[in-house]
Amino acid sequence: MTTNTSCWDVFEACAKSVYQGCLITSVSAKDKEFHFQNWFGFRLHDLSFNHDDQGRNKYPDFSLVNFAEGYEIKGLAWPGRERDYDSNSQVPTGVHNGRQIFYVFGRYPADLSVYEMSGGVREYPVVDLVMCHGDFLNADHNYVHKNKNVKGFGTYGDIMIRDRKMYVAPTPFALTSGTTGMMTLILPAHMEGDPRFQKVGELTRVEADELVVDYTFDLRTNVLQAGRVPNPRAGTRHEFIAWRLKGQPDKPVSMLNKPTLPDDSSVTED
């Protein structure tokens, strides 16, 4: 077991659990999120990794006690909306409140009707899984998420408009090839490897030419406009390594030339 980070052990526990047939358990058809989160929680329990109490609006989903690290869990129905996901509380990041943050994306069958209910619960498999360091999704550690409001709206001036941000970010399945059907770990290149793992890809993300620094919304025209400035770090390359356990398939992982990025159609009014 490693001493400086939990991610190698956590990923190993997840990957081996998938191969050993440890199933996701859902107790309700309305359980759209917490079934996979609970499955991941059992993996931490298997490792005897203590974590803070969970909460529906807490970020990350699991904050470890013995490591300055946290795990944010995203279950995705497959086939279905799997190219991007909603983040209602925090923009993706690799560091939050002094903790390294890892994201765990697990895909499960979209049609659960083929899996019989037994004792009031339904069990089904994890199709594939990508665990990635948050920097793979967004390397900015300085942005602070806050919800604000504007008072005085409406005919009588007594209505408040709440600016409650939702972030829609691409998943690793939209950014990479070679991850479908596999169990893959993606970490910054500077993180030292582990002898249990084999390297299956070198990945590069490049900073954009411009940064969005503000936005305005015109209530009369329903037009939303972003304010952009040149990115002083434009073109900066962030290097990552894709890993799998030795004994797993060594199918190579690479960046997609034209990844599928989020669009308005993926944003719901919920």
What pLDDT, in 10s, does the model give residues 156-215?
Answer: 899 999 988 889 999 999 999 999 999 999 999 999 999 999 999 999 999 999 999 999
- Whether the per-residue pLDDT at 118 is higher than 90: the answer is no
Nearest to 34 by CA among 93, 69, 42, 83: 42
Judge contact between 25 and 35, C-beta under 8 A: yes
Angle between helix axes 7-19 and 34-46 (nearest 10 degrees) is 110
Nearest to 104 by CA among 136, 124, 74, 128: 74
Domain-located, residue 164 = yes
| Beta-carbon contacts of residue 33 (< 8 Å; ≥ 6 apart) | 75
What pLDDT, in 10s, does the model give residues 129-159?
Answer: 999 999 999 999 999 889 999 999 999 899 9
Domain-located, residue 117 = yes
Token pair 């490693």 in the structure block, residue = 2
Domain-located, residue 195 = yes
Domain-located, residue 228 = no
Amino acid identity, residue 125?
P
Domain-located, residue 216 = no
Spatial distance between the Cα atoms of 102 and 9, rounded to a whole number of angstroms: 13
Domain-located, residue 219 = no
Angle subtended at Cα 151 by Cα 147 and Cα 153, rounded to the nearest 5 degrees: 120
Q: How many domains does the chain have?
A: 1
Q: Which residues pair with 83 in a beta bridge?
A: none
Domain-located, residue 224 = no
Q: In terms of residue numbers, what domain contains 255?
A: 7-205+235-266
> pTM score, two decimals?
0.91
Domain-located, residue 210 = no
